Amino acid sequence: MTTVTAQPADAAYLALRLPAGTRVTYHGTEAAYRGRWTVQPCACRLCVAATIFGRPARRYELYTLDGKPGPLVHVRHTSVTPIVGDAELNEATCVIPAKYAAVHLRKELRRVFPGVKFSVRTGTGKRRGEITVTWTGGPRRTSVSAVAAPLMARFGPGDRRIARVDVTVGGRRYCGVPMVSAIKLNRD
């Protein structure tokens, strides 16, 4: 028989995840107020005192969609669900595999450096997110990397956004964020 011991929740985990002004659906215990609202960090005496002592904010206040204060304060983070907008849905689902990003990169390199022959290949197996660019003579590595760098996928907090790519392969149009983990540049 396995016994699991409950651990107290880490304060950083309980900290607010939604920025002020986020549109949410309230589904808490106050049935009369269920529906769509915006949230702000709670400014009641308990929450303000906790943040003064260095604890992260843990509760929200509900505001109307036009920004006026609502009826509920001290709302748990589990009682609200963010409303995902169309732009966020499109951003999350529109990705381009590395092989199509390689086609886009090849066209861009031909446009920027006319007359230079580039070999643009994608990796296989575990390295299928990698692109290798090889050329002889012509531009320097820094010039080629300036064209290739916007295709690099960056993951994690604080990372810059990746340029969206629009490419046609085999008569079909693909548009989205390229999923490229590495770009290797080889000048012969």
Burial of 6 (C-beta count, 10 Å sphere; 0-12/13-18/19+) = exposed
| Residue 17 near residue 42, CB atoms below 8 Å | no
Give CA–CA dist 70/37, Å, rounded. Answer: 8
What confidence score (pLDDT) does residue 113 get? 93
Write the CA distances from 131 to 43, 68, 134, 139, integer angstroms. Answer: 50, 51, 10, 18
Q: Look over the chain and give the mean of its residue pLDDT values, rounded to a whole number.
A: 81
Query: pLDDT tens digit string along 110-147?
Result: 999 999 999 999 988 888 889 999 999 889 888 888 88
Mean pLDDT calculated for residue range 96-104: 89
Q: What pLDDT sits at residue 38?
A: 93
Task: Please state the pTM of the whole predicted model.
Answer: 0.50
Q: Mind listing the pLDDT tens digit for each residue in 21-66? A: 889 999 989 999 999 999 999 988 888 888 888 877 789 999 999 9
